[in-house]
Chains A and B, each alone.
Chain A
Amino acid sequence: MDKLTNQLVISKLQATFGDKVYNFSEPKGLLTLETDRETIIDLLMLIKEDEFMQFIYLTDITAVHYPELEKEYAVVYHVHSLIHNVRIRIKVFITASDPRIPTASFLWNGANWMERETYDFFGIQFEGHPDLRRILNMDDLGVFPMRKEYPLEDPNRVDKKDFYFGR
């Protein structure tokens, strides 16, 4: 069997999606690419079901918040082809005003909680998700705490007031 190289993945993806996939890079040898939310599910389906590539193992889904960018949120997928031992990282940037992205939970059942966690922390709406509720935080938290604008510490704390330290 041929070896799956990053170059091969790029050419296969470009053959199907053309300029819908872009910004290829290889930080530390791990192929990273970007796509948009209209393409992401087709792309994941293709790489999972392609008989040669077989990216059947979803390692992780998470998100990153870049407040200074026009498209603030990056949803990051790590997918692993166990048979070739190749990992790829796929990013989808979405805007803060419209943080929607289709769910991958019908491709992998394991995506269910990963997407719930991402929703819980960043407020990204995974459309079509069977059960999009908060998972780690309390229901009545009200905010999405991993967004950069929210502080680490509880803003309602009183025991750290300057008063107690004679300031």
Chain B
Amino acid sequence: MSNITLADKPPGVEGAGFFATTLDKAIGLARANSLWPLPFATSCCGIEFMATMGSTYDLARFGAERPSFSPRQADMLLVMGTIAKKMAPVLKQVYTQMAEPRWVIAVGACASSGGIFDTYSVLQGIDEIIPVDVYVPGCPPRPEAILDGVLRLQDIVKNESLNRRNTPEYKALLEKYGIATENG
């Protein structure tokens, strides 16, 4: 038997031969531990992400075994590096191509706020064009910090209500960014 740590089961009622919990808890557990990352790496932070995926730090331990380079099959968009204004429409297009539910981590100072590049050509934070769930500070963040960001996102995913993506608040959020929601 290898020393694999299993995820804790969600709170529920247990008895002989059955275990009852709510559906959104069970789905949240499954989603949180199988996040498929889409690395959107543009610069320095991308190199640290390589280290995070590499043998020493190994993001795969947390269920993100398969980096998906197609936005259609990814849940977690990791934006790593400076997003120039020229790149902004591309990033937005990638985000809209992702299927719901989708989450975004802004890795590093540039993606979070523009970082040291307060210039005419750099977007001052990706939250100007797409909604962001987790911000990871650092220029670039250490691999541990990126891992921590992913763990924080797992907490969000675990506790997200199944209905959230259908609420008017969520639709209003996307409308604010000018992103079309599924039913118009």
Find out whether A and B make contact in their complex, taking CB atoms under 8 A apart as touching.
Answer: yes
User: Which B residues are in CB contact (< 8 Å) with A154?
Assistant: 119-120, 124
User: Which A residues are in CB contact (< 8 Å) with B118?
Assistant: 152-153
CA distance A150 to B124 in the complex (A): 19
The answer on a CB contact under 8 Å between A138 and B120 is no
Query: A157: CB under 8 A from chain B?
Result: yes
User: Which B residues are in CB contact (< 8 Å) with A138?
Assistant: 85-86, 121
CA distance A136 to B121 in the complex (A): 10
User: Which A residues are in CB contact (< 8 Å) with B85?
Assistant: 138
Interface residues on chain A, number (Cβ under 8 Å): 13
Query: A95: CB under 8 A from chain B?
Result: no
CA distance A136 to B87 in the complex (A): 11
In the complex, which of the residues A136, A137, A145, A159 contacts B124, with contact meaning CB atoms closer than 8 Å? Answer: A159
Query: A27: CB under 8 A from chain B?
Result: no
The answer on a CB contact under 8 Å between A145 and B86 is no
User: Which A residues are in CB contact (< 8 Å) with B124?
Assistant: 154, 157, 159
Contact with B along A119-142 (1 / 0, CB 8 A): 000000000000000001110010
The answer on a CB contact under 8 Å between A153 and B86 is no
Which A positions have Cβ atoms within 8 angstroms of B?
136-138, 141, 145, 150-155, 157, 159
Which B positions have Cβ atoms within 8 angstroms of A?
85-86, 118-121, 124
